[in-house]
């Protein structure tokens, strides 16, 4: 049975509509999956951003502590420099004339102390 022109055109149009509808359904399905993945990625991004903000606050707190520690270290170094300057100017230089007598005496006492330890442990 031969097809008339109208029947053939309706068949072609129907076929085109089925192909377009199938493509549209597949496209919408893929779009839906993409939207779901985007929602998951957005939720993960929010979570990561919250963790980043917490980490940033922690780093800021630690940086403030480091600043306090550096300031304290600077004060300690300054005080230590003053103490060493005092020791050099007031103790070591004036007593430098006695060092040739003090060193041998200290060495003798040190060796004597070592010998006592060796005898008590040995």
Q: What is the pLDDT of residues 70-99, one digit of tens each?
A: 999 999 999 999 999 888 888 778 777 888
Domain presence at residue 18: yes
pLDDT band at residue 102 using 50, 70 and 90 as cut-offs: confident
Domain presence at residue 2: no
Split into its structural domains, the chain has a count of: 1
Domain presence at residue 114: yes
> In the structure encoding, which two tokens stand for residue 112, read together?
């004597």
Domain housing 23: 7-121
* Distance of alpha carbon 94 from alpha carbon 98, whole angstroms: 9
The per-residue pLDDT for 90 is 83
- Over residues 28-46, mean pLDDT: 97
* Distance of alpha carbon 99 from alpha carbon 105, whole angstroms: 10
Domain presence at residue 33: yes
Domain presence at residue 62: yes
What is the maximum span of the chain, computed from C-alpha positions, in angstroms? 135
* Distance of alpha carbon 40 from alpha carbon 36, whole angstroms: 6
């Amino acid at each position: 049975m031969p097809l008339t022109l109208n029947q053939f055109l309706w068949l072609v149009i129907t076929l085109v509509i089925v192909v377009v509808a199938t493509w549209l359904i597949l496209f919408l399905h893929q779009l839906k999956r993409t939207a779901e993945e985007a929602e998951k990625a957005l939720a993960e991004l929010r979570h990561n951003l919250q963790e980043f903000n917490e980490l940033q606050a922690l780093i800021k707190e630690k940086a403030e502590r480091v600043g306090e520690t550096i300031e304290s270290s600077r004060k300690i170094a300054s005080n230590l420099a003053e103490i060493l300057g005092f020791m050099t100017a007031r103790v070591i230089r004036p007593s430098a004339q006695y060092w040739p007598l003090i060193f041998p005496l200290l060495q003798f006492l040190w060796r004597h102390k070592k010998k006592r330890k060796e005898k008590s442990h040995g």
